[in-house]
Every structure is written in structure tokens, then in C-alpha cells.
């Protein structure tokens, strides 16, 4: 019953921006923290950012601090990842995850000239 659908991936130039969205259903969204992970070609899936259920706290991987911002709109059951100053090494499939361990399907982000 838990479902998360991601939107917003695409192709951008280095230095550009994208905003990813993850629309959730099948659970009480505001009761759970949410996270973003990513997996680049040939690499393990890695943690990117997290936000608490009430949006009171956030956390970021060192590689994205100062460039990415995680946020959520509990009225819309949606978590966002604003990505600025994108680098080629940010190229990956990005996944949202609930604190209870459910994953979205992923959305491709490609940063290239």
C-alpha cells in the first residue's frame, strides 16, 4: 500500500539546478522522517539528505552541504530536494526513502555539458 512516486529528474548543465519531488501515499506521512539517496553508475547507493517528520531537523551528506536543500509539505504528502550548483559527480538515480524503510522508484539526474 505504501507508494512513493518521484518527479523532477532530467538533464542539466554543470552549475544548474533541479528540484526533485517525491509524492507519498499509503501511510501517515507526517509521522515519518524522509530521506534522499542516490546511486551513480558503478557505485553503491549513498545517503544524500534527511528531514524529520515535522520538518524541524535536517541533515546532509558532506558532498552536498551548501548546495542541496531538503524540505517537505505535509499537507501535500510530498518531500522535495532542491539541488543547486550541480556537478557532473551528482549524476545518479535519486531515490526517496521513508524512515520505516520503503523506497521510491527513483528518478534520473544527469549533469553534463
Q: What local confidence, expressed as pLDDT, does residue 74 receive?
A: 97
User: In this structure, how many other beta carbons lie within 10 angstroms of the beta carbon of residue 3?
Assistant: 12
Q: Are 78 and 22 in contact (CB under 8 A)?
A: yes
pLDDT digits (tens, 9 = 90+) for 1-10: 899 999 999 9
User: In this structure, how many other beta carbons lie within 10 angstroms of the beta carbon of residue 71?
Assistant: 15
**What cell numbers appear for 111 in the block?**
549533469
Could you give the CA distance from residue 25 to residue 5 in angstroms, rounded to a whole number? 9
pLDDT digits (tens, 9 = 90+) for 56-86: 999 999 999 999 999 999 999 999 999 999 9
User: What's the gap between Cα 63 and its chain centre?
Assistant: 14
Dump the DSSP string for 19-66: EEEEEEESS-GGGS-EEEEEE-TTS--EEEEEE-TTS--EEE-TTTTT
Amino acid at each position: 500500500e505504501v507508494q512513493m512516486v518521484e518527479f523532477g529528474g532530467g538533464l542539466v548543465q554543470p552549475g544548474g539546478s533541479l528540484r526533485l519531488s517525491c509524492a507519498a501515499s499509503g501511510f501517515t506521512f507526517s509521522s515519518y522522517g524522509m530521506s534522499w539517496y542516490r546511486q551513480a553508475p558503478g557505485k553503491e547507493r549513498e545517503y544524500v539528505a534527511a528531514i524529520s517528520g515535522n520538518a524541524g531537523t535536517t541533515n546532509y551528506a558532506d558532498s552536498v552541504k551548501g548546495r542541496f536543500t531538503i524540505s517537505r509539505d505535509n499537507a501535500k504528502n510530498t518531500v522535495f530536494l532542491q539541488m543547486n550548483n550541480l556537478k557532473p559527480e551528482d549524476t545518479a538515480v535519486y531515490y526517496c526513502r521513508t524512515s520505516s524503510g520503503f523506497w521510491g522508484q527513483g528518478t534520473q539526474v544527469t549533469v553534463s555539458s
